Every structure is written in structure tokens, then in C-alpha cells.
Chains A and B, each alone.
Chain A
Amino acid sequence: MVSDVGDLPEKTSIREFLARHSSYMLMLPPLIAFILFMIIPTAMVLLLSFNAGGQVTFDPTQITIENYIKMLTRQTTYILIRDTFGMSLLSTIVTLIVAYPVAYFLAFKVESFRFQNILLFLLIVPYWVDWSIRSISWLSILGSDGVVNYLLLSLGWIKEPIGELLFTRWTLLIIWAQTNMLFMLFPIYLALIKIDPELLAVAQALGASPSRTFYHITFKLSLPGVIVGSVFVFVSTIGDYVTPALWAGGLQTLGLTVQNYAWLFQWPVASTFAVLMLIVTLTILYVMLKTVNIKRVFYE
């Protein structure tokens, strides 16, 4: 009999009420924070893009789509879109290829849980060196007085330092891969450690080759992690307007354009480019997220 659960004293009704609605009460503070500091600012960018000139706050009497017409009739806008999203997608793929084997190694080939944690800790430490200082350190790595040139020179492979290691699109890809490695690696690792080892054993017992087992079980089950990591990396490279300006040798991106217009106090134009960026980003994310149900990774 399970009746004793039902025979609880009267006050359970309050408790039940609390329990039933606890989700709403728990979500209230984060909800308010995100509406105030995430949704409203974004909405304001959207509104301001329908004003013109040197406006700093939205004026509902001056609505115009002038900025959009100017932006969309300019040839350079389409080059900006291609370069910005092309580089970000490329960077996402590079980071994925670099990070996946490391995540796999961590999850399956390091038996000791303690050692796994030490390795994960090592992955977080470089983030304590401040972002902009880490960025400068690439000068000491890839610059003409840098480590790479020093090694190549002392090995006798080159006669004089290579200057082209810096300020190219490749530089940007390398730096982005380093910056975003953790954000790719961590979700993949989290997805991999959730895989039931018995599944792999069963597949092998049934005669599947290691590569088939890997593809059909390990890789497919880690896909949510791959997607979450890719979304992280993709979005953080899209929004990054500093690294391309410093290291990509004159590559123009949408982020830089937004920043430049903001610095010129052309906030409405800056907002227009920001809206364009947001629309393209959300479209690409929608496609990425459609391939896998990421909610299921967390709560279903």
C-alpha cells in the first residue's frame, strides 16, 4: 500500500503549491536579469536602426528605413557578410578538428578521474592571463622575433625570419583556435563521458570494427556536444571585433564595421549593421541547432 504518502497532514497543500510552482519562482530572478540586460538592449539596437544620423537614443517620430536601403545597396556589405561568416565557420571547423581528439582522449583514455580533472584545470589556467595580454603574446610566438621563427632559424630551415606568420587570415584562425579551444572541448567532453561504456562493449561483441563503433556510437552520441561547442565558437568569433582588427591584416568584418560606426557616433548605422549580423547569425544557428535537439542534452 502507498496510502501513507497520501495521509500526510493538511499543510502539505502549501508545500505542494510551493513544489508545483517552484520552477516559476526559481526562474523569476534570472528572467528579470535577462530581460533587463539582454532583451531590452538588443531591442534598443533594433529600434535605433530605424533612426538616422547622429541619434543616440531612439526617436519614434523619426522612423526611416534609409540605413537599411543604404546598407543593402552597397556591394561591400555582401563582401563583409561573406568574409565575416566565412572566417567564423572556418574557425569553428578548425577548432572542432583540433579539440575533438583531445576531448576523446580525456574522456576515454585517461582512466584516473583525478588526472582528468588536472588536465581540465590546465585548460582553464591560460584564461587567467588576461585576454588582451594573451593576444599580444602572439607577437612573441609568430612575430619575426618570435619563438617559431627562432626555432626555424636555429634548425637552419630558413635563412631569415618569415614575416608572413602574422597579420594573415591564417593567424586569425590559429589565434581563434587557441582562444576558443576550451569552449569547444568542454561540451564535447561532457557529452562523451555520458556515453554508457556498455554500448561500446556490446557493439564490439557483436563484431563491429573499432571505426564503425566510433562513428555509429561514440561520434553520433557526442553530436550534441559538438553542436553546442560549435555554437559557442561560432558566436564568439562572430562577435569578436578586436582580434581580427589586431591580427588579420586588414580583414574587414561586420563586427569591426559596427565598432567603427559606433566610434564615429553613428549609432543608428552601427545598429543597422548589428541587426544584419544578428539576423544572419540566428539563421545559421537555427540550421545548426536543427540538426540536433540540444535541449535533450540538458533536460529531457
Chain B
Amino acid sequence: MRDPVKTILTIYTVIMLFIFLLPLILVMVLSFNADANIAFPIKRFSLYWYVGEPVTLGKGISGIIHDPYIIRVITNSVILGVSTAIIATPLVTASALALRRRFHGRDTFFYLLLSGFIIPAIISGIGANILYKSIGVKEYSLWTALPFHVVYTVPFGLILTMARFDPYMVEYENAARALGAGEWNVFKKITFPLIRAQVISAFFFSFTLSLGELLRTSFVIAGIGSIPTYVYNQMSVTAPTPKWFALGTVTTIVSFVVLMVIAIFLTKEIRKVV
């Protein structure tokens, strides 16, 4: 049985996926360029932008592992991303569970949470700055950016979580309650196992969104800050080199590893609890 719609859609999806992944592919490939430009195609491959020694002659810039700024920026981004996810995930879970029941002010609460992305980035950006100025915070750091990362990522996690809730969850819970289970036990034995997958995906999503967040927090983050703020500030100073692409490649790998470790850890911990 042939399905022409399926064939067309397969081809279309493959093309779109390719275009979608093209920036990632290019970043990875061009980071191995031996030259100091990001032109295509590559004439000579090298690992210079990863491990190059700092030299005063030649390219004059070291590879990323010899660049203390880059190392700090990557660490900053991962710390910020993981902290955001650690705070945002329980907030997402609590909000999603609260919204299952009918209660006074539910719609208002829902729209309040959605405001995290309904209010355009630049507005929360300058709002954050004005807020800190009004309460007299002068020193910006990663931690001044953290709350704004959290409120930005919560609505995405919420939608991801709620859209895939088991429709019979409340009934299972009520059954457990009727059989005499306490609230904590209901949560531990019934609710959490049912939403585990969504909670993990909310965690991943928060981390990923935080990693790329520039627009909301560029006004309230310290000098070096996270990767987006660092690169954005560098953009106005230097011409793009493959070093940035090397940084992008490393970020991708680091994100992957961090998320896998967390996923394995979470799965283990959850098994212990349940």
C-alpha cells in the first residue's frame, strides 16, 4: 500500500529538518576551520580553536581551553541553567497540579503564569533593571538573572506538562484517598509516577531555554555573564572567528552530557522513592 501523502511529507520533513539543523551542522563543521574566518567550504581542518596555545604571533587568540573567560562563561551558563531548572520544575509541577482542580481565580492564575512569555522580552528586560534599581541592588551577577530565567521558563514547562496529563489521574488519586492513603502517599505513589515523564521534560526544557536566554536578562547580568551575553558583547568588538563555533559545539556537548547525567540520576532517585 502506497501513501503518496506520506511520501511527500517525508521528503518535506527531511528537507525542513535539514534546514533547521543547518546552523548546528555548520557551527560544528566550521569550528574545525584552521583559518580565522567562518567561510564555507573549509580549506584546512585543525583543532586550533579548541586546543590552540595562546601565541602572540599568528592568530593571536588561543583556543577555548586556554581561554579562562570562555571556561568561566560555560560554567556560568551551566550553573544558571541547572539552577533555573531546579527551581522552575517544582513550580511547574505545583502549578500544573493546582490547575487540574476547579477553584476560584483559576483563570487569573493561569494567565498570570502565561505572562512569563506573553510579556515581550524587552519589557521584562528593562522591568528587571528598573526593579533592581528601585530596591537598590547595584551589583549584578548570575543570581540577579536567575529569577527572571525562572519566570520565563515556567510557562513553557507548564504547557508541556499539562498537555500530556493522564485524564484519569484525579480519579486514581481519589480512589487512593478513599482507601485511606494520606496526601503525601497519594502524591508519592500515584500522582508522581503518573507525571514523572512530564516533570523530566519540563526540567530539560527549562535548562535549554535558560541556556539561550539573552533578551530578558542582558540588562541585569554581570560583565561576563552567561554564554549568550558574553558572545553578544564580543560581537560588537571582534569579527566572528571559528572560536565561537568551537564554543557552540562544546556547549552542545556539555548540555547533552549534563542532561543525560541528570536524567539517569533522576530516574534512579525516582525508582528509590516509588
* B159 at the binding interface (Cβ < 8 Å): yes
**Do A15 and B183 contact each other (CB < 8 Å), given the known contacts A23-B103, A30-B113?**
yes
Tell me whether B109 and A31 are in contact (CB under 8 A). yes
Residues of B contacting A78 with CB < 8 Å?
none
Chain B interfacial residues counted at CB < 8 A:
97
Residues B95 and A30 in contact, CB atoms below 8 Å apart: yes
Q: Please measure, in the bound complex, the distance between the C-alpha atom of A48 and the C-alpha atom of B240, giving whole angstroms.
A: 38
Q: Is A122 an interface residue (CB 8 A)?
A: yes
Give the interface residue-count category, chain A: 35 or more
> Contact at A104–B9, with CB atoms within 8 Å?
yes
Main secondary structure of the interface of B (DSSP, over half): helix
| Per-position binary interface string of chain A over residues 128-170, scored 1 when its CB falls under 8 Å from any chain B CB and 0 otherwise | 1111111011111101011100100000000000000000000
B64 at the interface (CB under 8 A from A): no
Given contacts A34-B151, A129-B27, A295-B107, contact A236 B248 (CB under 8 A): no
Q: Is the CB of A239 within 8 A of B182?
A: no
Q: Mark A16-27, 1 if CB is under 8 A from B, else 0.
A: 001100111011
Instruction: Please name all residues of chain A whose beta carbon is closer than 8 Å to the beta carbon of B115 when the two chains form the complex.
Output: 34, 38-39, 42
Check B159–A136 contact: CB distance below 8 A.
no
Contact with B along A241-268 (1 / 0, CB 8 A): 1100010000000010011001000010
CB within 8 Å of B: which A256-295 residues: 258-259, 262, 267, 270-271, 274, 277-278, 281-282, 285, 295
Interchain CB contact under 8 A, B163 and A26: no
The answer to whether A147 and B126 have CB atoms under 8 Å apart is no
Instruction: Known A102-B16, A146-B40, A150-B41; judge A126-B112 contact (CB<8 A).
Output: no
Q: Which residue of B lies closest to A146 (CB)?
A: B40
User: Which residues 84-139 in A have Cβ within 8 Å of B in the complex?
Assistant: 98, 101-102, 104-106, 109, 119, 122-134, 136-139
A68 at the binding interface (Cβ < 8 Å): no
Can you list 16 contacts pairing A with B, beta carbon distance less than 8 Å? A15-B182, A22-B183, A26-B98, A27-B95, A33-B91, A132-B214, A132-B228, A132-B232, A133-B27, A133-B247, A134-B23, A137-B248, A140-B30, A210-B5, A235-B118, A274-B127
| B interface residues with partner A (beta carbon < 8 Å) | 3, 5-6, 9-10, 12-13, 16-17, 19-24, 26-27, 30, 37-41, 77, 90-91, 94-95, 97-101, 103, 106-107, 109-110, 112-113, 115-124, 126-131, 133-134, 147-148, 150-151, 154, 159-160, 162-164, 177-178, 180, 182-183, 204, 208-209, 211-215, 219, 227-228, 231-232, 235, 240, 244-245, 247-249, 251-252, 255-256
User: Which residues of A pack against B, CB within 8 Å?
Assistant: 5, 8, 15, 18-19, 22-24, 26-27, 29-31, 33-42, 44-45, 48, 56-58, 98, 101-102, 104-106, 109, 119, 122-134, 136-141, 143, 145-147, 150, 178, 181, 186-187, 190, 194, 210, 228, 231-232, 235-236, 238-242, 246, 255, 258-259, 262, 267, 270-271, 274, 277-278, 281-282, 285, 295, 297-299
